[in-house]
Amino acid sequence: MEIGNGNGSVAGLGTRIVENVSRVLVGKEPEIELCVIALLSRGHILIEDVPGVGKTMLAKSLARSLGCSFERLQFTPDLLPSDVTGVNIYSPNTQRFEFRQGPVFTQVLLADEINRATPKTQSALLEAMEERQVTVDGTTYPLSLPFLVLATQNPIEFAGTFPLPEAQVDRFMMRIQLGYLDVAHEVQVLDRFQRESPMEQLEAVATAEDIVAGHKAVQEVYVDEQLKEYVARLTHRTRSHADIGLGASSRGSLGLFRTAQARAALDGRDYVTPDDIKALALPILAHRLILKPNAELRGLTASKIMGQILESEPVPPPTLVSRFGRRAAG
């Protein structure tokens, strides 16, 4: 798949998906684009926001736009790991145990309110998210590609919830927030949903094969050595910052690297610029940071500290060269 702006390119693919999802989700084009970036980077997304802002609608419309299979799993305290991955059940007819697949065997999985399940159940997704496979009773089953987990959690209601372990959080490539709409966009929602949901008329504008081809095309986007070092420096700064108890992992560096390639491809470029990295550093790295208690008492947040790091870290000069030898402005 080409990088440029044609219908068969990554940029054309991204444009079609964003425009199609925007028919349902009003005024959230930047957030939809982030989802497409994560999808093309083979990453997963944690959506942290209050109820009723369109988290489920985003997942459903994205899955329908891709022509991919979709499953929604409501996480509750009584949910078991086997309810996620599947279970072996004895069949009297065959006199053998047969594996019945769980909801994780899909291409787009909505893990709704993931922090309401116990850590044991949350961890059932670890192998699937990292290795695109599930192991049950010693047998490993591969998952279909593409495989995207969209998990949601409510940041204001903590009764009966279980905070995600660091290992689980680190497997989400990015965290996004949808937020409330302004008045003009709220009116558009009322108009569009007056008679029926636009979701009913939503058709696929891409296929699973398009996304897999997009994965390969994104991997070919050129990243200058100075930009690789810039990514590593940003991640290292989170590990040595005085107010951060636990910084971003190497998985965070790799996530920032991959999503910068995807953002460049969506823009029709075959090379990454510093702006690609700066635009994605916050959604990729901030949720991986654990602040020291005294920093939280002073009102600091991971997003604020990440902003300070971006402002103070020197940016490489805009003298990059694309993989075709053209000079690129940063």
Q: What are phi and psi of 274, to 5 degrees?
A: -55, -35
Give domain 221-330's CATH superfamily. Magnesium chelatase subunit I, C-Terminal domain (1.10.8.80)
| pLDDT at residue 330, as a whole number | 45
Q: pLDDT of 222-280, one tens digit each?
A: 999 999 999 999 999 999 988 898 899 999 999 999 999 999 999 999 999 999 999 99
8 pLDDT band, cuts 50/70/90, is: low
| pLDDT at residue 310, as a whole number | 93
Is pLDDT of 217 > 70?
yes
Is pLDDT of 196 > 50?
yes
| pLDDT at residue 4, as a whole number | 67
Q: pLDDT of 118-136, one tens digit each?
A: 999 999 999 999 999 999 9
In the chain, list all ranges with CATH 3.40.50.300.
1-220
| pLDDT at residue 297, as a whole number | 83
Beta bridge partners of residue 100, listed in sequence order: 87
| pLDDT at residue 111, as a whole number | 92
5 pLDDT band, cuts 50/70/90, is: low
Is pLDDT of 320 > 80?
no
In the chain, list all ranges with CATH 1.10.8.80.
221-330
- Report how far residue 130's alpha carbon sits from residue 93's, in angstroms, rounded to the nearest whole number: 36
Is pLDDT of 185 > 80?
yes
Sorted by sequence, the CB contacts under 8 Å of residue 304 that are 6+ apart come out as none
Pairing, β 70-74 against β 108-112: parallel
- Quote the tokens at residue 316: 């490489």
- Is the distance from CB of 22 to CB of 28 less than 8 angstroms? yes
CATH of domain 1-220: 3.40.50.300
Pairing, β 45-48 against β 148-153: parallel
- Report how far residue 305's alpha carbon sits from residue 243's, in angstroms, rounded to the nearest whole number: 8
The percentage of the chain sitting over the pLDDT mark of 90, rounded to a whole number, equals 54
| pLDDT at residue 284, as a whole number | 96
Q: pLDDT of 56-107, one tens digit each?
A: 888 888 888 988 888 999 999 999 999 999 999 988 888 888 899 999 999 9
pTM over 0.85: yes
- Is the distance from CB of 178 to CB of 52 less than 8 angstroms? no
Burial zone of 195 (CB within 10 Å; 0-12 exposed, 13-18 middle, 19+ buried) = exposed
What mean pLDDT, rounded, does the chain reach?
88
318 pLDDT band, cuts 50/70/90, is: low
